[in-house]
A and B are shown apart, each in its own frame.
Chain A
Amino acid sequence: MFKRLAIKPNNYHDSIVLMRLARTVRNIDRVVEAQVGMATELNKDAVREMGFASQELETATPNDLIVALVAETEDAVGNAEKVVAESLEGPARQHEPGVQKARIYATLSEAAATGGAGIAAISVPGEYAAREAREALANGLHVFLFSDNVSVEDEVALKKSGKEKGLFVMGPDCGTAVIGGLGLGFANKARRGKIGIVAAAGTGLQQVMAIIDRLGEGISEAIGTGGRDLSKEVGGITTFMGLTFLESDPNTRVKVLISKPPHPDVRDSLIRMLDEGTKPAVVCFMGEEIEEARRKRSGKVLFAGDLEKAAILAYQLATGESKESLYSDDELDKMACRVARTVDGGGYFRGLYSGGTLCHETLTILRRMGIDVYSNIAQDRRFLIEDAEESCANTCIDMGEDYFTRGKPHPMLDPGMRVPRYLAEAGSKDVGILLFDVVLGYGCHRDPAGVMADAVREARRIRKDMGQGLAQIAVVVGTAGDPQGLEKQAAVLREAGAEVLFSNRAAGDLAARIIKAQGGTRPCLR
């Protein structure tokens, strides 16, 4: 075995770039293990686990780049080193005479000093994120804070300071926003239109935008808040600012609010505010029972039990057209019967999600249909699985959850990280239905359907060898304008043998119908 450790001081690269690179390096022939990352404690641990030890490693700082390689041959080590060098140093060394390169700024303040920007999009590691956000606010900039792992104290302080200055703080942990037609973070190219959205949920917002776009209506603004905005501590500062803006925005006719159920105090003032507004509002508090929500309903606020419904209600209010759902019961029933026939003998349901909100929605939908589902993000402790690696009866996994993304890219960026798990599920004879999401948009993977289509084909091959059928359902979240091409992505998946739906609610519904067609659920034997 050939091992090599290189530490390159003062050589910072973004973690997304490095995680992708590490993955590329690991795939090089005869490379056994590879770490390419900044010398954070976490990455240092990983390198130590590979059997490396040196004084240099101990004293390296998060500004120093570690390249640790283990390979079967010396050539493979050399190849890996070459790939790392080319990928990290390549473009910077190229000289293109006559080409004016975009100016690169060393600090946020330096970029702000140009006076040309109105908003800062921040995606640095969480421990440094609040500092950058403060700097942005001090420079009079709105903030889109993609970074997670920001303390709630910092969040409150940032949002209070932003509010005082009349500046938005979207986030922390804000995955998506569409502001003035520009997609920030993971964002779909949605048609401009009359529906304004405030959302605490990244893929939830994407799903709603995608369905509105599919129906032919569009978005005025989509303001992200981060998942904690409606907690008691934060008190919904950004949500209130967002709704205030939508209320006064001449382009917005309907307001939509998407979030996990808010803290009761916040919920009350929120609903009161919407009631007092002049524009109709649609609210989707994911996971909150719709009956309970309706009891508290009022004139101007409509409650939606799922994301598709939220989009449909908004569409109705914006256009006056009637539309019940994207897929009729009849359509879903027929689909379920057709699929159930191919999956003889039943089998458990397994969902592998890249979008956390989508996973949460599927749990809600199946439970509403009387099916128990285990999950790594279950709120009901009875259904919380102990080991995220081990599925149990019907299971739905959020693979973007911290456990899976520590030191690895998020499945939105690298949908292929789900493939080993997907194939393992496919290889289990107890499994009959596999469900996964494919999320499109700017910032997302360039060909997520292509990656998952390979897995779908491989799963079919595995099942063929086992002599068993398998239902594979893909939910594709995206708009026709997305850079990946919505129909193209769907076609690739269909061709591979997956059922493709454009609504996560419908996909969950379909899964439930298949399960029921097979004769209900079986309990988890653990």
Chain B
Amino acid sequence: MLTIRNWPPEGGVISVGSGVFAESMQEQGANVYQVKWQPPAHGKAELIDILDKLDGRSDIDEANQTAIERFSSAQPVLIGIGIAQEAIPGFGGRMLLHAGPPIAWDKMSGPLRGAVIGAILYEGWADSPDKAEELASKGDIEYSPCHEYSAVGPMAGVISPRMPVFILENRTHGNRSYSTLNEGLGKVLRYGAYSEEVLDRLRWMEKTLAPILKKAVELSGGIDLKSMIAQALHMGDEVHNRNRAGTSLLIRALVPYLVEVDHPQADIRKCLEFINSNDHFFLNLSMPAVKAMLEAAHGIHRSSVVTIMARNGTEFGIKVSGLGNQWFTGPAQIVKGLYFPGYSEKDANPDIGDSAITETAGVGGFAMAAAIPIVQFVGGAPEDAVRFSEKMYSITTTENRHFTIPILNFRGTPTGIDIRKVVETGILPQINTGIAHKDPGVGQVGAGLVNPPWECFEKAIIAFGKEYADGN
């Protein structure tokens, strides 16, 4: 016996395809749900084939839930400050960590080269920039992505063995993450500057700032960064391009313990001034905080959730939870945005830095709707910010349990990028970022929006298909 359900159909009509028909149905008073359709997977048949095999697979959905559960239950806490080679397991010798996927000296962009030279001078492995460059290019230095050592660094992201680093611990799963301390704006190492002024500041940070903060952090018994990020989102930060609220919250948390630190008052005051003068000080904590959360979600068999997005200024690379240690890379893109006076797109270095870890965790560009104060920075109106965030729900697995967006009715931020959804919809993650000058040491020349290259996701879905398409 043939039963037809819901006929004539109650409710509205989903219109997929021509806007002409959607309009004519609206004209008739129908409730039309318009799908902004585009060919799946950029219209590539071989990718559609893979998607068809991965679609509606409950084993993959379950693996993603497991990954998200681990991410959500992670508790990143700032527990201390240490020296990189002592704090980071396996790191030391003549090794430098850098942002993004692996890269050789001859492929490095201007800011990253500058930062490498600066780090060599800082370590005293060479006594002049020329000699440092010679050393850097000869193969005597071992380069590795920060991410391979559970670390993250903004822009060039260079970490050398003697640099002080924040130490974070995920109190739920026990994994740790690391990041340098933010140097401030202008001529700084992370933009590839290596003048005396830069090196002097790094030395002051090592000798004065780090020890004082270390004591304050220890006295505090650890600072819960997850709830600090959640609060900052309610105060106009998205913790990537705007960190003013986060930095303020951090100062509030530190001050009671800073006054107890046994150090000359002038030094403590200088530390506070240093932090207070740099809105981005908190960036070097928001990044490792979400890194610790994402690392807990990595390595889940069959999970198609992205756990790393990072750029080295030449290439953009991603990692996927269920695909082990493989990087999937493509060319880093030029950031579209607002340039500081006197600069234009032709001064820009391609996208650089590990800071896209924030977007990977559902903040940064994904939480743009929380950061209305900076929408003009990226050339838009508040409703654009809302649109940016809303669009990301189409490519993510879940809504964040802890990070919420007031203007979206406290909806959780779009979290857990699913490579299947990116390839299906062609919607690329929206990254909200600073723009580095292409020459070493000039610094930040603007800020704006950028996407990963499509290739990363195409390569990842092919690898994922090879691994899991047959259902095993």
Contact = CB atoms under 8 A, between A and B. Distances in A.
Interface in B51-67: 52, 56
A12 B41 CA distance: 12
15 contacts: A10-B42, A63-B42, A63-B43, A104-B35, A105-B394, A106-B35, A111-B14, A116-B31, A118-B11, A121-B21, A121-B22, A131-B52, A221-B8, A240-B2, A244-B4
Contacts of B18: 14-17, 123, 146
A195 to B, nearest CB: 15
Interface stretch (A160-168, A421-429, A503-511): A160-168
A251 B6 CA distance: 16
Given A14-B19, A138-B56, A483-B27, 10 more contacts: A61-B42, A95-B383, A104-B36, A110-B393, A120-B16, A121-B25, A142-B6, A146-B21, A166-B2, A240-B2
Given A105-B33, A108-B35, A110-B394, A119 B9 contact: yes
Given A117-B12, A117-B33, A179-B9, A14 B17 contact: yes
A118 B9 contact: yes
A167 B17 CA distance: 21
Interface string B390-421: 11011100000000000000000000000000
Interface in A165-182: 165-168, 179-180, 182
B125 interface: no
Interface centre among A105, A108, A168 (most CB of B within 10 A): A105
A140 B18 CA distance: 22
A107 B34 contact: no
Contacts of A118: 6, 9-13
B25 A442 contact: yes
Interface stretch (B101-109, B201-209, B423-431, B439-447): B423-431
Contacts of B48: 131
Given A107-B425, A117-B33, A146-B21, A131 B40 contact: yes
A104 B427 CA distance: 13
A193 interface: no
A245 B56 CA distance: 31
Interface of B: 2-22, 24-25, 27-28, 30-40, 42-44, 48, 52, 56, 381, 383, 390-391, 393-395, 424-428, 454
B3 to A, nearest CB: 5
Given A136-B14, A141-B14, A142-B6, A184 B426 contact: no
A123 B8 contact: no
A102 interface: yes
B21 A117 contact: no
Contacts of A183: 24-25, 28
A124 interface: yes
Contacts of B42: 10, 61-63
A63 B16 contact: no
A16 to B, nearest CB: 5
A415 to B, nearest CB: 14
A153 B233 CA distance: 52
Nearest to A92: B387
A115 B10 CA distance: 11
Contacts of B390: 103
A119 B13 CA distance: 5
Interface in A419-459: 442-443
A124 B17 contact: yes
Contact of B21 (A123, A189, A244): A123
B263 to A, nearest CB: 52
A345 interface: no
Contacts of A114: 33
B44 A442 contact: no
Looking at chain A's contact residues, the main secondary structure is mixed
Contact of B34 (A12, A104, A138, A241): A104
Contact of A163 (B2, B6, B11, B28): B2
A308 interface: no
A391 interface: no
Contacts, number: 183
Nearest to B26: A102
Nearest to A105: B35
A179 B11 CA distance: 12
B24 A107 contact: no
B3 A166 contact: yes
Contacts of B5: 140, 165-167
Given A108-B14, A111-B35, A116-B12, A413 B2 contact: no
A119 B5 CA distance: 11
A14 B5 CA distance: 31
A15 B37 CA distance: 12
A443 B24 contact: yes
A120 B27 contact: no
Q: Which 5 residue pairs are nearest across A and B when measured between Cβ atoms?
A: A118-B9, A180-B8, A123-B17, A62-B43, A12-B38
Contacts of B28: 182-183, 189, 442
Contacts of B425: 106-107
B39 A125 contact: yes
B304 to A, nearest CB: 16
Contacts of A163: 2
Contacts of B24: 183, 187, 442-443
Contacts of A16: 18-20
Contacts of A123: 15-18, 21
A117 B2 CA distance: 22
A124 B37 CA distance: 8
A112 interface: yes
A122 interface: yes
Nearest to B424: A107
A107 B28 CA distance: 23
B16 A10 contact: no
Interface in A27-55: 38, 40
Given A105-B36, A182-B30, A241 B2 contact: yes
B362 to A, nearest CB: 17
A128 B44 CA distance: 11
A264 B2 CA distance: 23
B16 A132 contact: yes
B184 to A, nearest CB: 36
Given A95-B383, A146-B21, A182-B25, A12 B39 contact: yes
A478 to B, nearest CB: 14
Contacts of B427: 106
B390 to A, nearest CB: 8
Nearest to A180: B8
A346 interface: no
A225 interface: no
B17 A244 contact: no
Nearest to B43: A62
A15 B22 CA distance: 14
A235 interface: no
A354 interface: no
Nearest to A9: B454
A185 interface: yes
Contact of A102 (B6, B34, B391): B34
Contacts of A179: 8-9
A166 B4 contact: yes
Interface in A232-247: 240-241, 244-245
Nearest to A63: B42
Interface centre among B22, B34, B37, B393 (most CB of A within 10 A): B37
A116 B6 contact: no
Interface centre among A110, A121, A140 (most CB of B within 10 A): A121
